[in-house]
């Protein structure tokens, strides 16, 4: 499939499009999002892509992505209440990627599993306690609840003294995965349906950090070694677990690793979420480039000096390590930067740089979030742009009155 070239809209074009909209507001450029979707499918080696709901947090856009291509299949969800709500809204093929201890929601899942044994959401487990929590809500007549083993995809360097990757599942080796699969087998009301291994140290870490060439080289070395180690271990784990259970799904990867994870035979499907909006942290990968597709606009409300434009709001920091890359990125007009002392503020954000001098009170500035879905926790609505107009305004999860995390 030919990947459409993403639109590169200027400040003046967005200003014309949003002339009637009062800032602050958030928006998604559907043309850019469509180009990003095609780019990701192009890297996925023909495998289906499960869509990470946490990175979109907007029901209308989840529907739109799933409708846009048959290779977008199912959702990777982030809490059990969210998963159950999505199931109620008619979404199918749901895989909850993070373990839950929410016994009330598990009881609801058990009811869903009776009503739809093969189609109820699959939940994540990595230890016996997760299985105990599920079993605790199941009555004698319950249908099996389907679970997915979370395999740690981290890279253990220096003989295990350095463990690189997200600190999530304790299940790392073939033996540990088989032991958990056996533990599941012993419990007749729990069915092992899937295995997931998410290599966050590859998928979620840009290998071209700006201004840090040595660090970039170290990241590329780590990612090459980690990908090679994981391909072997993941294949061995999948083969061993398949001796005990029929795995419907072997899930892996994220926006930043589609072409690497997709090349592994053991993997049946990939996941991507962030790449649809392409937030600022995804600007720094050598293997692909995406088009900025989501942003927010703030009004300039004061000019403390001729060279400074101070905008209302803007302190929408991304979760994670707390480094400056988690701050929002000034986008348009080009040539703006955050103030090193103040960063992005709770109620005001001073903007410096060449473009700040040309901004007046009443003008607007455009910024991008460092991560994807978290933008939606700040705004009720996303204005949707296509061509040179606003074609719709759709509620975020927050706009539907829902805050899952």
Q: Label residue 64 left, alpha or beta by phi (over 0 means left) and psi (-120 to 50 means alpha).
A: alpha
Footprint (CB under 6 A) of ligand PLP, residues 85-124: 97
CB atoms near residue 250 (< 10 Å) = 23
Q: Closest CB to ligand PLP among 124 and 352?
A: 124
Which residues is 352 bridged to in the sheet? 337
- 198 sits near ligand PLP (criterion: CB under 6 A): yes
Q: What is the DSSP letter of 317?
A: P
Q: Closest CB to ligand PLP among 189 and 274?
A: 274
Whole-number minimum distance, CB 277 to ligand PLP, in Å?
9
Compute how many residues bind ligand PLP; rule: CB under 6 A: 15
Binding part of the chain for ligand PLP, among 115-123, 133-141, 210-218, 267-275 by CB under 6 A, reads 267-275
Q: Closest CB to ligand PLP among 85 and 98?
A: 98
DSSP letters, 71-133, are TEEEEEESSHHHHHHHHHTT--SEEE-S----HHHHHHHHHHHHHSTTTSPBEEE-SHHHHHH
Q: What is the DSSP letter of 45?
A: T
Whole-number minimum distance, CB 321 to ligand PLP, in Å?
14
Q: Do 333 and 11 meet the contact criterion of CB atoms below 8 Å apart?
A: yes
Q: Closest CB to ligand PLP among 271 and 396?
A: 271
Binding track, positions 223-262, relative to ligand PLP; x by CB under 6 A: -------------------------------xx-------
CA 187 to chain centre: 32
Which residues is 146 bridged to in the sheet? 191
Footprint (CB under 6 A) of ligand PLP, residues 37-96: 52, 55, 76
Q: Closest CB to ligand PLP among 318 and 344?
A: 318
Binding part of the chain for ligand PLP, among 25-33, 219-227, 272-280, 315-323 by CB under 6 A, reads 272-280
Rg (alpha carbons) of the chain, rounded to whole number: 22
Whole-number minimum distance, CB 225 to ligand PLP, in Å?
21
CB atoms near residue 4 (< 10 Å) = 15
Residue in the block written with tokens 């990908």: 227
Using CB under 6 A, pick the residue from 36, 113, 169, 271 that binds ligand PLP.
271
Binding track, positions 359-398, relative to ligand PLP; x by CB under 6 A: -------------x--------------------------
Q: Which residues contact 332 (CB under 8 A, 6 or more apart)?
A: 10, 11, 14, 295, 365, 366
- Residue numbers of the site for ligand PLP (CB under 6 A)? 52, 55, 76, 97, 198, 203-204, 254-255, 271-275, 372
């Amino acid at each position: 499939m030919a990947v459409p070239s993403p639109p590169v809209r200027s400040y003046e074009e967005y200003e014309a499009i949003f002339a009637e909209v009062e800032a602050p507001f958030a928006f998604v450029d559907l043309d850019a999002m469509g180009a990003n979707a095609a780019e990701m499918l192009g890297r996925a080696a023909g495998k289906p892509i499960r869509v990470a709901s946490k990175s979109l947090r907007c029901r209308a856009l989840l529907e739109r992505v799933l409708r846009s291509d048959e290779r977008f299949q199912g959702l990777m969800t982030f809490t059990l209440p969210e998963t159950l709500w999505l199931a109620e809204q008619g979404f199918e093929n749901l895989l909850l990627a993070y373990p839950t201890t929410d016994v009330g929601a598990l009881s609801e899942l058990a009811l869903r599993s009776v009503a739809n044994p093969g189609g109820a959401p699959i939940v994540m487990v990595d230890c016996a306690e997760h299985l105990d929590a599920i079993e605790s809500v199941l009555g004698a007549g319950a249908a099996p609840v389907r679970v997915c083993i979370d395999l740690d995809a981290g890279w253990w360097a220096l003989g295990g003294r350095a463990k690189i990757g997200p600190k999530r599942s304790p299940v790392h080796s073939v033996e540990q995965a088989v032991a958990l699969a056996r533990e599941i087998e012993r419990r007749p009301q729990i069915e092992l349906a899937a295995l997931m291994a998410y290599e966050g140290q590859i998928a979620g870490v840009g290998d071209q950090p700006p201004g840090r060439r040595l660090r970039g080289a170290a990241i590329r070395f780590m990612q090459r070694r980690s990908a090679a180690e994981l391909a072997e271990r993941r294949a061995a784990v999948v083969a061993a677990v398949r001796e005990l259970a029929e795995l419907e799904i072997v899930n892996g990867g994220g926006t930043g690793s589609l072409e690497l994870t997709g090349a592994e035979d053991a993997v049946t499907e990939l996941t991507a979420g962030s790449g649809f909006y392409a937030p600022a942290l995804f600007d720094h990968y050598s293997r692909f480039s995406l088009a900025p597709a989501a942003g927010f606009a703030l009004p300039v409300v004061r000019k403390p000096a001729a060279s400074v434009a101070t905008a209302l709001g803007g302190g929408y920091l991304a979760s994670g390590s707390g480094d400056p890359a988690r701050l929002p990125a000034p986008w348009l007009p080009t040539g703006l930067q955050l103030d090193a002392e103040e960063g992005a503020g709770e109620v005001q954000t001073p903007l410096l740089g060449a473009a700040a001098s040309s901004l007046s009170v009443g003008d607007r500035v455009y910024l991008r979030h460092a991560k994807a879905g978290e933008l939606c926790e700040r705004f009720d609505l996303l204005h949707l742009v296509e061509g040179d107009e606003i074609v719709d305004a759709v509620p975020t999860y927050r706009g539907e009155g829902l805050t899952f995390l």
